[in-house]
């Protein structure tokens, strides 16, 4: 089953090469043959100029471009696969303990809608990305070699070790109970947790009953992350909405998570922007869509981290 489109606005044409990429337009195929340009691959005319393409437009270009986009730009080197049968997927056990550079970002619950948005935002930043998914084939068809898909049970220590190999940071974009079971996070330098705990606690009646399990998972995730000793950023958002991002600003007022709403796309953006702003210990804040515009996320996070450290 193909992955559902994340947003309703569709484009069937992959994005044009940026100015910095023009010199590499005549790409070489894996066999060494020079690849000719394809005149048909032109950018569609949008309401905005191409240099003003929104985050959503660029995401959709990646989704709709699919395999053609990867052939056009030249697919990156194949990443190691987690085996799901077949000799080619078998891993040399002698290589398991070999240390590799910690430059990857692990996204949990990569099958979810917001998980896919986080993955796509990481791709746009050219970050090495690993994702925990339930359907490896479907995810690989969607993202190709841009993402290393991992399928397995985090209670299995050998799989956990494999999933976390080379990982410098973890983004948990959904309350999926990733930290519910004891996990060896040695070597991880930063955890970004998107939490809906405030929303679950504020729900009542039938909604509270329906959210009871998610509430417990969210509480457990926050508890484990805070006790891990690893620098962490906990983003407590308002109710997540399947609406286009980038159209509104933000509201970081304390208590806004219990009553506010935020686009999933905007929430995914904040998760990825938080990656390189690592707090000394912990940074916790609430956010929903509002009127405050953030033009420089690095500066915004630096200010919040400084303020939090002064309190601590």
> What tens digit of pLDDT does each residue of 9-28 get?
333 344 444 444 444 434 34
Q: How confident is the model at residue 61 (pLDDT cuts 50, 70, 90)?
A: low
Return the percentage of the chain with pLDDT > 70, whole number. 66
**What mean pLDDT do residues 34-57 have?**
44
Number of structural domains, the chain?
1
Report yes or no on 276 lying in a domain.
yes
Q: How confident is the model at residue 73 (pLDDT cuts 50, 70, 90)?
A: very low
Q: How confident is the model at residue 63 (pLDDT cuts 50, 70, 90)?
A: low
Residue 283 maps to which CATH number?
A: 3.40.50.720
DSSP E strand boundaries for 156-303? 167-172, 190-195, 232-237, 239-241, 249-251, 261-263, 282-290
Please, what is the angle between helix 55-73 and helix 136-143, to 10°? 90
Report yes or no on 80 lying in a domain.
no
Report yes or no on 91 lying in a domain.
no
Say whether pLDDT at 196 is over 80. yes
Report yes or no on 196 lying in a domain.
yes
Report yes or no on 42 lying in a domain.
no
CA 27 to chain centre: 28
pLDDT at 219: 86
**What mean pLDDT do residues 301-308 have?**
92
Report yes or no on 28 lying in a domain.
no
Say whether pLDDT at 7 is over 70. no
Specify the higher pLDDT residue, 260 or 54: 260
Q: How confident is the model at residue 266 (pLDDT cuts 50, 70, 90)?
A: very high
| Mean pLDDT for the chain overall | 75
Q: How confident is the model at residue 99 (pLDDT cuts 50, 70, 90)?
A: low
Report yes or no on 57 lying in a domain.
no
What is the torsional sign of CA 132, 135, 137, 143? negative
Token readout for 231 is 């620098």
Q: What is the pLDDT of residues 222-255, one digit of tens each?
A: 888 999 999 999 999 999 999 999 999 999 999 9
pLDDT at 312: 65
Say whether pLDDT at 79 is over 80. no
Specify the higher pLDDT residue, 99 or 126: 126
Q: What is the pLDDT of residues 103-119, one digit of tens each?
A: 999 999 888 899 999 99
Report yes or no on 13 lying in a domain.
no
pLDDT at 71: 43
**What mean pLDDT do residues 148-173 have?**
88
| Domain extent at residue 126 | 100-311
What is d(CA 224, CA 183) in angstroms, rounded to the nearest whole number?
10
Token readout for 102 is 């910690």
């Amino acid at each position: 089953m193909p992955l559902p489109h994340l947003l309703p606005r569709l484009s069937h044409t992959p994005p044009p090469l940026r100015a910095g990429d023009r010199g590499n337009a005549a790409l070489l195929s894996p066999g060494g043959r020079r690849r000719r340009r394809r005149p048909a691959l032109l950018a569609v005319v949008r309401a905005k100029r191409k240099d003003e393409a929104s985050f959503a437009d660029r995401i959709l270009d990646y989704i709709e471009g699919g395999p053609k986009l990867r052939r056009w730009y030249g697919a990156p080197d194949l990443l190691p696969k987690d085996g799901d049968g077949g000799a080619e997927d078998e891993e040399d056990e002698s290589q398991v303990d070999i240390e590799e550079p910690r430059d990857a970002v692990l996204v949990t619950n990569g099958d979810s809608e917001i998980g896919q948005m986080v993955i796509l935002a990481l791709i746009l930043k050219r970050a090495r990305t690993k994702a925990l998914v339930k359907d490896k084939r479907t995810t690989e068809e969607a993202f190709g070699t841009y993402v290393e898909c991992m399928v397995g049970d985090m209670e299995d220590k050998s799989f956990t070790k494999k999933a976390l190999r080379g990982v410098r940071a973890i983004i948990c974009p959904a309350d999926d109970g990733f930290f519910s079971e004891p996990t060896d996070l040695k070597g991880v330098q930063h955890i970004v947790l998107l939490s809906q705990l405030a929303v679950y606690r504020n729900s009542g009646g039938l909604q509270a009953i329906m959210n009871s399990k998610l509430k417990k998972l969210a509480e457990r995730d926050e508890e484990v992350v805070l006790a891990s000793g690893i620098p962490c950023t906990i983003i407590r958002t308002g109710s997540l909405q399947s609406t286009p991002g980038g159209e509104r600003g933000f509201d970081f007022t304390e208590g806004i998570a219990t009553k506010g709403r935020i686009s999933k796309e905007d929430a995914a953006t904040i998760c990825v922007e938080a990656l390189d702003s690592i707090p000394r210990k912990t940074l916790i804040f609430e956010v929903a869509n509002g009127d405050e515009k953030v033009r420089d996320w690095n500066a915004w996070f630096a200010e919040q981290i400084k303020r939090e450290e002064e309190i601590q």
